[in-house]
Structure 1
Amino acid sequence: MTRICVAGGTGQVGREVVRRAVAGGYGVAALCRHPLPAGAPARVDGAEYFPADVTTGEGLAAALAGADVVIDCLEGRSGKDLKNFADGGARLLAAAQDADVSRAVMLSIVNCDRSSFGYYASKAAKEQVYERSGLDTVVIRATQFHSLLAAMFGAGSTLRIIPVIKGARFQPIAPADVAAALLEAALEPPAGVRHSVRTVGGPEIQEMEEFARQWKAVTGSSGRLVRLPLPGAMGNYLRAGLNLVPEERHAGETFSGWLAKNADSL
């Protein structure tokens, strides 16, 4: 039986990978920084959970023991996690090589190497670590998640506004669809290419205002749509359309479909 180690197996995409892999009959080791108690919402029956920390290397050997492939869904959003994100990837890959893992698949962001925004730049730096690795590696670059837009709208609605970034269009994708792409890349037979970068985009491209209207209809928010400028690196990235990959629209869950499924938690 193929055994898959999912680094960041309790995160938004990681737990979807774990669910799909368990449902497919694969052995699954989920690597997470903090142990999960039995019955925790992020825990999937049938998977083994290992406390491990890529910033120190502690616990990696146990989590990777017997694994055939590792899927890296880790995030480093702020502070030391962001600063050490690429180094953590190097530790994970080194431990994977020591454990005789044959392939590593990393979750990344479309055109992250064309933005100076810190979070995106850290993803690009980690991609370079994967490219230099001696393992068979695949980087899956995804467009922004449906949940990102929902979080932005929800945060603004607490002030009775729904923010819409001027000049921004989005191509959001469901975390479950990204998880499917990661798992597919992890399980496909060797193609004779040591490193590859692939892109997966959401099924539709629309103005941010249209997505805001959909969110408002589902949530019943009384907030007013307000168009706001977004300065800095992230604003430049969005206005340049670098978050869009029109040639890589993948069939999957639309924003409205995702909203309907998650209406109770919005």
Structure 2
Amino acid sequence: MTTVCVAGGTGQVGREVVRLALDAGLDVTVLSRHPPSGTSPVHHDGARYFQADVTTGGGLAEALQGADVVIDCLEGQFGKARKNFADGGARLLGAAAGAGVRKAVLLSIINCDKSDAAFYVSKARKERVYASSALETVVVRATQFHSLVTAVFEAAAKVRLIPVFKGARFQTISPSDVASELLSEVLGAPSPERHRTRTIGGPDIRTMRELAEIWRKATGDAGRIVEVPLPGAMGKYLRNGLNVVPGERTGTDTFESWLAKREDSL
């Protein structure tokens, strides 16, 4: 039986990876700085949870013991976590090699190496760490999650506004679709290419205004849609269309279907 260790297995993609891996009959371990209790909604019965920290290396050897593949779903969006993001990846890979892990799969972001946004720069640095690893590695770059634009809408809706960025289109994808692709790399045959990168995207490409209209209809929100400029590195990234990949409509869960399931679970 294949043993999979999910680093960051309590996040929005990581916990979907854990769920799908268990459904596939795999042996699953999870490493997290704060393992969930058995009653937590992010805890999955059947998985074994370990407390470990990639910033210090503490607990990694125990969490990775006996694993065949590690899936890295860790995030580091702010402060020290972002600054140490690539170094944490190096510690994880080093511990994985020491534990006899044969393959590592990394979740990353589409065209992160073409953006000057700090979070994307940290992602690109971590990709380079994976590209120099002694392990076989696969970097799976995903388009933005459905939850990203939803978070923007929800935050501003508190003042009855729904902002949309000028010139922005999105190809949003669901965490479950991303998790499925990460797991497919675990179950696939070994590749003759030592280090690979692939990009996956959601099923539809839409303007942010179209997404806002879908969200407003689904939630019944009465906020007014307003078009605003997005300056800086992220604005440039979006205006240049670096967040879409028309030839890779990998996901099947549309923004509408994801919203419907999300609302049903509230």
> What TM-score do the two structures reach when normalised by structure 1?
0.99
Would you say the 8 A contact 2:2–2:26 is kept in 1? yes
Is it true that 1:203 corresponds to 2:199 in the alignment?
no
Q: Once the two structures are superposed, what CA deviation does each residue of 1:194-243 show, in whole Å capped at 9, x if it has no partner?
A: 00000100000011100000000011111000100000000000000000
Is it true that 1:142 corresponds to 2:142 in the alignment?
yes
Q: Find runs of 4+ consecutive structure 1 residues off by over 3 angstroms.
A: none
What displacement does 1:186 show? 1.5
The equivalent residue for 2:90 is 90
The equivalent residue for 1:241 is 241
Is it true that 1:33 corresponds to 2:47 in the alignment?
no
Is it true that 1:259 corresponds to 2:249 in the alignment?
no
Against the structure 1 CA distance between its residues 251 and 41, is the aligned structure 2 distance closer, same or farther, given a 3 Å change threshold? Answer: closer
Matching of residues 1-266 of structure 1 within 5 Å: 1-264=1-264
> How many residue pairs were aligned?
266
Look up the equivalent residue of 2:85 and give its one-letter code. F
What displacement does 1:263 show? 1.2
1:25 alignment partner, SS class = coil
What displacement does 1:68 show? 0.2
Cα distance between partner residues in 2 of 1:30 and 1:73: 11
Cα distance between partner residues in 2 of 1:86 and 1:245: 25
1:246 alignment partner, SS class = coil
Would you say the 8 A contact 2:172–2:202 is kept in 1? yes
Cα distance between partner residues in 2 of 1:25 and 1:169: 38
Cα distance between partner residues in 1 of 2:119 and 2:253: 25
Look up the equivalent residue of 1:175 and give its one-letter code. P
Q: Once the two structures are superposed, what CA deviation does each residue of 1:37-88 show, in whole Å capped at 9, x if it has no partner?
A: 1110100111000010000000000100000000000000101000000000
2:259 alignment partner, SS class = helix
Against the structure 1 CA distance between its residues 97 and 107, is the aligned structure 2 distance closer, same or farther, given a 3 Å change threshold? Answer: same
Would you say the 8 A contact 2:173–2:251 is kept in 1? no
What displacement does 1:35 show? 2.5
Cα distance between partner residues in 2 of 1:251 and 1:89: 26
Would you say the 8 A contact 2:178–2:251 is kept in 1? no
Q: Once the two structures are superposed, what CA deviation does each residue of 1:129-186 show, in whole Å capped at 9, x if it has no partner?
A: 0000010000000000001111111011011100100010000001000000000011
| CA RMSD after TM alignment | 0.9
2:247 alignment partner, SS class = helix
1:189 alignment partner, SS class = coil
Cα distance between partner residues in 1 of 2:233 and 2:170: 16
Cα distance between partner residues in 2 of 1:254 and 1:163: 21
Look up the equivalent residue of 1:151 and give its one-letter code. A
Which ranges in structure 2 are unaligned for 5 or more consecutive residues?
none
2:197 alignment partner, SS class = strand
